[in-house]
Amino acid sequence: MQEKITKLKKLIENSNRILLINHIRMDPDAFGSLTAFYYILKKLNKNVKAINDENKPESFVFLDKNQIFEPNLDLKEFNPDLIISFDAASIGQLWKIYTNNENIFNNSDLIVIDHHATNKWFGNLNIIYSNYSSTCELLYDIIVKINYEKHIDNKIANLLMAGILTDTNVFYNTNVTSNTHKVAWELLRLWANSRKSIFEFFKKKSLIKTKLLWKALFNIKELKKEVYNKKIRYTILTKKDLEEIWANDRDTNWIIEHIINIESTEIAFIIYPLDNWWYKVSFRSHKYNVSKLAEFLGWWWHKQAAWSNLKNDINQTLNKIENFIDN
């Protein structure tokens, strides 16, 4: 790693126009890492610009009031000699910024800073370590090794902390290591306000989401038949349920987490409407592979979190799940 950091430092020192980019639909890790490095480069009096196909989401404003992203930046005019990508696992995640400016990307040094095991190593300098929980945790170690630590102020510490907290689900996910805690400890010493990010990203809920959760929990049922002796709990939200409280399908995403955490639940799923025709089934398990179930219904994603979109009516879907279980 030290060798790569030395190269990174040289590239930064020799560059006049540095472009920072992160993945589309930026999350707090992609946003926090890029923005933290942006302010460090500014302190080094670098000509630095940040790009994404969108501005940062409104919900990140508490971390940085300034709008540093320039979605309409003319890259030909800026003509960067160094590009640094944050938290993107593939060049596809840079979206049309890349496809519209392939020449510029191919003719400048491209540094990739990321923690995804699936990363395609698409830069000329790949600082990619999948043993890190988040790009923010990795970036902190890079900043220390490059000797920029003295530039970490309170705001930068908060930005890095936000990415660590969200990518680890507040130190709960299996990607957490002792180094994650060490970095968090060092950021706390720099007066990072972890409580603010935990409130904004985890605790705070809209009234609509809270009412919807209550409805979903009130209707929890246990599947009559068991899959391989697993206890399966589920809930169903109808179109009427959503309409009554002015909720939409995007308000449902946090409900499944509550069902799987109910004692003795081994597999959980929720069925909710996407529109007049389509229903979504979302499965979750802490231990068991639920992708096969979702795959059986049409689509799948992760081993422990999977979903399908279904056009059938709800009872037909429940029957299908129970029949799969019988096999």
Annotate 57-96 with three-state secondary structure.
Answer: CHHHCCCCCCCCECCCCCHHHHCCCEEEEECCCCHHHHHH
Contact between 64 and Mn ion by CB under 5 A: the answer reads: no
**Structure tokens given for 52:** 């994404």
Number of residues that bind Mn ion (CB under 5 A): 5
| CA distance between the termini of the chain | 50
Distance between CA 71 and CA 220 in Å, rounded?
44
Strand pairing class (47-51; 221-222): unpaired
**Binding region for Mn ion (CB under 5 A) out of 28-36, 55-63, 124-132, 207-215:** 28-36
Cβ 115 to Mn ion, closest distance in Å?
6
Cβ 271 to Mn ion, closest distance in Å?
30
Give the bridge partners for 279, in sequence order. 273, 310
Cβ 30 to Mn ion, closest distance in Å?
6
Cβ 251 to Mn ion, closest distance in Å?
24
Q: For residue 230, which of 300, 287, 191 has the smallest C-alpha distance? A: 287
For Mn ion, the closer of residues 87 and 251 by Cβ is 87
Cβ 137 to Mn ion, closest distance in Å?
9
Contact between 29 and Mn ion by CB under 5 A: the answer reads: yes
Cβ 56 to Mn ion, closest distance in Å?
15
Strand pairing class (221-222; 232-236): antiparallel
Using CB positions, name the residue nearest to Mn ion.
29
For Mn ion, the closer of residues 134 and 308 by Cβ is 134
**Binding region for Mn ion (CB under 5 A) out of 165-173, 191-199, 251-259, 299-307:** 165-173
> Mask: binding to Mn ion, 79-98, rule CB under 5 A, as x and -?
--------x-----------
Among positions 167, 200, 251, 266, the unique one binding Mn ion when judged by CB under 5 A:
167
Question: What is the Cα 81 distance to its own chain's centre?
Answer: 29
Residue 152: phi, psi to the nearest 5?
-75, 105
Cβ 131 to Mn ion, closest distance in Å?
13
Hunting for tokens 């990321």 — which residue is that? Answer: 114
**Structure tokens given for 257:** 């987490």
Strand pairing class (82-86; 109-114): parallel
Cβ 23 to Mn ion, closest distance in Å?
9
**Structure tokens given for 216:** 């979903």
**Binding region for Mn ion (CB under 5 A) out of 27-35, 53-61, 243-251, 303-311:** 27-35
In sequence order, which ranges of the chain are alpha helices (DSSP H)?
2-13, 28-43, 75-78, 95-99, 102-107, 135-145, 154-167, 178-189, 194-198, 207-218, 239-244, 255-260, 291-297, 314-326
Cβ 171 to Mn ion, closest distance in Å?
15
Q: For residue 229, which of 190, 286, 267 has the smallest C-alpha distance? A: 267
**Binding region for Mn ion (CB under 5 A) out of 103-111, 160-168, 217-225, 308-316:** 160-168
Q: Using CB under 5 A, which residues numbered 92 to 151 contact Mn ion?
A: 134-135
What is the contact surface with Mn ion in residues (CB under 5 A)? 29, 87, 134-135, 167
